[in-house]
Chains A and B, each alone.
Chain A
Amino acid sequence: MAKYIGKRLVLAIVSILIVSAITFFVMNAIPGGPFNKEKATSAEAQKVLEERYNLDKPIGEQYVLYLNNLMHGDWGISLHNGRDIWDEIQMRFQVSAKLGGMAAAVAIVIGLVLGSIAALTRNKLPDRLIIFFTTLGTAMPSFVLATLLLLIFCLKLGWFPVWSSSNPNYVLPIIALSVYPMAYITRLTKTSMLDSLNQDYVRTAKAKGVPGWKVIFKHALRNALVPVVTYVGPMVAYILTGSMVVENIFTIGGLGSTFVTSIVNRDYTMIMAVTLFLAILMVFANLLTDIAYKMIDPRITFE
């Protein structure tokens, strides 16, 4: 196990390096630059800025310099507004993680419950209702949902403020973020639960008189979890890094909008930092997923 994790960590570092190289060179290859403005920056100022941020050096050297700084824990400063990148990422991630964490929790809990109910009431009314609404949930993109929520709950009903400086409300953004993964988890759970309910070991358990709830939780649900976990790992990583659309509509300063803005502004240091951050998070989520497999199903080996 320890050996396996060690191996995975080495692989993780390699993949993060590859991601960083691809991002760095592609980002520099796309047209545009960080100091382009409607009113042009003077040639002198541009020169000072390029020197300050090493942009006057050959691209290969820039990459080496960047990696070198990164090894020393220096993520650099934003080319766009001079902010410290690491402070910025931490601050934004706290917001996105809080929001995304709650959304992920909601999605997982409700998704599992609804999925199990649907499987157990197969072809009866609860099942049909759940499947109807989850189909809707997977079909509706988050920006549609977010706009609809804003329209209904903020403007028509007035239950929540659209924006508040003193008391920001996370209920609507959490709903907007969690509906899709929740619907997806529900469907996954239902399918794999149905599958395991038909297995021999469930029949055996029932036959030898194990109580109904125990059959469901210990035998059926546990084995049904493997495909769900496969989805949940990357989903959590993804949702934690925020959604530009939901953040913009509900005026939330998270990582999702930072990522998009940094690309629009060609804020190279910020693009690199957010991409690497997301890559690291993804790699870890995948590692945790694999470990979770082992805990759920001891038959799975890491060979």
Chain B
Amino acid sequence: MKKKLVSVLLVACMALSLTACGKNDAGNKKNDAADNTQTEGTENSDAEEGADTEEGAEGGSITNSDTNVLYINLASEPDYLDPALNSSVDGGCLAVNTFAGLYTYDKEGNLIPDLAVDMPEVSAEEENEGKIYTVKLKESKWSNGDDLKAQDFVYSWNRACAEETAADYGYLFDIIARKDDGTLAVEATDDYTLVITLVNPCPYFNDLMAFPTFFPVHQASVEAADPDGSVPGKWAQEAGFVCNGAYTLESWNHDESMVYKKNANYHNVDSVTMEELHFMLSADDTAIYAAYNSGDVDYIDTVPNDEISSLNGVNPEFGILDNLGTYYIGFNVNDPIFDGKTVEEAAKMRQAMNLLIDRQFIVENIGQSGQIVADSFVPLGMADGNGGEFKQADTSYYDAETTGAAMVEDAKKLMEEAGYSFTDNGDGTYKIDPAINMTYLTNDGTGHVAIAQAVQQDLGVLGITMEIQTQDWNVFLENRKNGSFTIAREGWLADYNDPVNMLEIFTSDSGNNDMQLGKGEKSDSAPDWAEYDALITEIRNTADFAKRVELMHKAEDMLMNTWAVVPLYYYNDIYMQKPNVDGIYATVYGMKYFMNATKK
């Protein structure tokens, strides 16, 4: 008996020791906006699986009975609660529940006025057509009782884009014109009227006005907390800061919990159905899932990766939300494997490898939550800025459903055109000459590594050898930015609903252009990229929205024709919600609104 007990414990220890590593980047996980799907799940515990699946099968039907309090987990400690400085999705969720901007989204995802009285009045006269926005504001108050006026927006926006604020999203204000003194061309013509002048007509400006970076902040609080401007976010570092949204932060135990209470001064306070929001601050999948199953938490948006297959389609509490974004991998166009090739040959090599990747396998076996395989870079469902959807039936760059084994011959042909020859191994695989050795760069994370292994196997069919480099989060980001890889794991979750948000990643001056297009010393095999830069500038300056759509398609064509970008699937987002909870809704950018939630 003793022996048996010891051996059982030993097995448990060994199984768990396998999962001991890789917990660290869970902390980061929620900080990166583009990376919020379950594929990021950083740990999977074999030993826990048995017990957890059992809980899952029971449907986690244990619910708590505090009908006035919603218990939520979104992530661990947010970096910034200041809406101007925040750049994470979970921080954005907190912002939309604590601050009110000019516009917001309803349950159906429609843009509706929030502090604005109505949709903006846009200038129609010849010269300034589509450039001058006039927004009338409702009378409203800050949570401390101060009046909130149009001047607050003038201050907040100028602050958010000021150089010394160094906000990640400061660049979003670039579409607003500047006055001679360098401040934004945003005027409060009276206490409740805001007049905004844009550089060029912009189809997504209304959307931006609902984005947290555009929310107002309380000037007196900001300046009192940080008189010399050296710590811009200081005013919102502890509970009790002044805000204007549905909830105020009452208490905050760091890395443990946050308690939000209904803000009596919120302009739309009557519509708020949930009295309090209590956030569990954790990024530990196991703890979060356990808290959900024990009924301590009502709503979570991560589950351990191994659990997804047993929950999806089985447990009615498990849900999937659409997201606007693309998971992709990308080639470094300056990588030595392309040395000596022409631009066309290098593109053919990348196209061939693109065709070899079995996307269906990846979404079914690794993603597991019904992601749609991607055949374009601009994600499905994204607006085109001219009243339609950007992605049409003909904006498909390959048949994403059949890439993989069925495409081996096509891929082989492309590689032959690029100067490679093959000898048949007799088992459906080939030996390539000359040999290709390359690296695949990814951060530690079960989903990411599994995708890398799938790609490795797919490329192996043509004898291409690929080494997977799994790096610590921060090192990964650095090496990816510097182009120290042949292929890197990538992802982009849209900030606003316009294709230019996806396309401008690849201008040669962009910090996100990891594919090094137009960067560094131009090699003979790297595509000429000045034309793309010019095209993006033209898109930004085009007032004719129909023409703009055309230009954006042209830009995507150009990007995809380099085959440096290999879209795998379009992002979606998972959540679990207790059956007695209702009324929580989310936008395609991952923002979740809790104020209209009800609990039985």
**A-side interface residues toward B, CB under 8 Å?**
30-33, 36-46, 48-49, 52, 77, 80-83, 88, 91-92, 132, 136, 139-141, 143-144, 147-148, 150-151, 154-156, 158, 161-166, 168, 244-245, 247-254, 257-258, 260-261, 263-266
- Tell me the bound Cα distance from A139 to B12 in angstroms: 12
| Contact bitstring B220-237, A, C-beta under 8 A = 1, else 0 | 000000000011111001
For the complex, give the distance between the alpha carbons of A246 and B372 in Å: 38
Closest 8 CB pairs of A and B: A253-B255, A38-B32, A40-B511, A32-B474, A162-B291, A165-B257, A36-B477, A165-B278
In the complex, are the beta carbons of A81 and B233 less than 8 A apart?
A: yes
B32 close to A141 (CB less than 8 A): no
Pick out which of these stretches binds chain A: B279-287, B397-405, B417-425: B279-287
Distance to closest chain A CB from B234 (angstroms): 6
Contact across chains for B255 and A38 when beta carbons are under 8 A apart = no
A265 near B474 with CB under 8 A, answer yes
A-B contacts besides A45-B170, A251-B256, 12 pairs, CB < 8 Å: A33-B474, A141-B20, A144-B17, A147-B45, A154-B290, A155-B293, A161-B296, A165-B253, A165-B258, A250-B287, A251-B280, A264-B24
Main secondary structure of the interface of B (DSSP, over half): mixed
B477 A140 Cβ-Cβ under 8 A: no
**Which chain A residue shows the least CB distance to B492?**
A39
Residue in contact with B80 in the complex, picked from A33, A82, A140, A261, CB distance below 8 Å: A82
- Find out whether the CB atom of B48 lies under 8 angstroms from the CB atom of A31: no
- Inter-chain CA distance A144–B472, complex, in Å, is 24
- B166 near A162: Cβ-Cβ < 8 Å: no
Taken together as a complex, chains A and B put the C-alpha atoms of A168 and B232 apart, in Å, by 32
- Min Cβ gap B408→A in Å is 33
Residues of A within 8 Å of B48, CB to CB, are 147, 151
Candidates B27, B33, B257, B287; contact of A162 at CB < 8 Å: B287
Residue numbers in B under 8 Å from A253 (CB-CB): 77, 253-256, 281
Q: What CA separation (Å) do A105 and B53 show in the bound complex?
A: 37
Q: How far is the CA of A140 from the CA of B283 in the complex (A)?
A: 24
Chain B nearest CB from A100 CB (Å) reads 16
Are A31's CB and B475's CB within 8 A? yes
How far is the CB of B306 from the nearest CB of chain A, in Å? 14
Known: A40-B512, A82-B237. A163 touches B287 (CB 8 A): yes
B233→A141 contact, CB < 8 A: no
Chain B, residues 269-312, CB within 8 Å of chain A (1/0): the string is: 00000000011111110110011011011000000000000000
A77 and B231 contact, Cβ closer than 8 Å, known pairs A92-B254, A249-B284, A251-B282:
yes
In the bound complex, CA of A81 to CA of B33 (Å): 16
Residues of A near B232 (CB, < 8 A) are 82
Q: Which residues of B contact A (CB under 8 A)?
A: 2, 9, 12-13, 16-17, 20, 23-28, 31-35, 45, 47-48, 51, 55, 62, 71, 77, 79-80, 85, 87, 163-164, 166-168, 170-171, 230-234, 237, 253-259, 278-284, 286-287, 290-291, 293-294, 296-297, 472-475, 477-479, 481, 491-492, 510-512
Of B12, B163, B283, B474, the contact of A266 (CB 8 Å cutoff): B474
| Cα(A144)–Cα(B17), bound, Å | 8
Measured CA separation A234–B551 after assembly (Å)? 67
Q: Say yes or no: A83-B280 contact (C-beta < 8 A), given A36-B477, A165-B259, A253-B255.
A: no
Measured CB to CB, the nearest residue on chain B to A41 is B168
How distant is the Cα of A136 from the Cα of B12 in the complex, in angstroms?
A: 13
Q: In angstroms, how far is the closest chain B Cβ from the Cβ of A196?
A: 31
Q: Are A154 and B294 in contact (CB under 8 A)?
A: yes
Provide the bound-state CA to CA distance between A39 and B491, in Å: 9
Please, which residues of chain A bring their CB within 8 A of the CB of B80?
81-82
A147 in contact with B34 given A32-B472, A253-B254, A266-B474 (CB within 8 Å): no
**Residue from B27, B231, B479 in contact with A31 in the complex, judged by beta carbons closer than 8 Å:** B479
**Judging by beta carbons under 8 Å apart, are B16 and A42 in contact?**
no
- Sample 24 A-B pairs with CB under 8 A, ordered by A number: A37-B32, A37-B477, A38-B35, A40-B511, A80-B79, A81-B237, A82-B85, A82-B232, A82-B233, A82-B237, A88-B254, A92-B254, A132-B2, A141-B13, A141-B16, A148-B12, A155-B55, A163-B296, A165-B71, A165-B257, A244-B23, A253-B77, A260-B27, A266-B474
List, in ascending order, chain A residues with CB within 8 A of B287's CB: 150, 162-163, 248-251
Tell me which residues across on chain B come within 8 A of A166, comparing CB atoms: 278
- Residues of chain A within 8 A of B9, CB atoms compared: 136, 140
Q: Which residues of B contact A46 (CB under 8 A)?
A: 166
Instruction: List chain A residues, Cβ under 8 A from B282.
Output: 163, 248, 251
**In the bound complex, CA of A48 to CA of B233 (Å):** 15
**Which one, B255, B473, B511, contacts A42 given CB within 8 A?**
B511
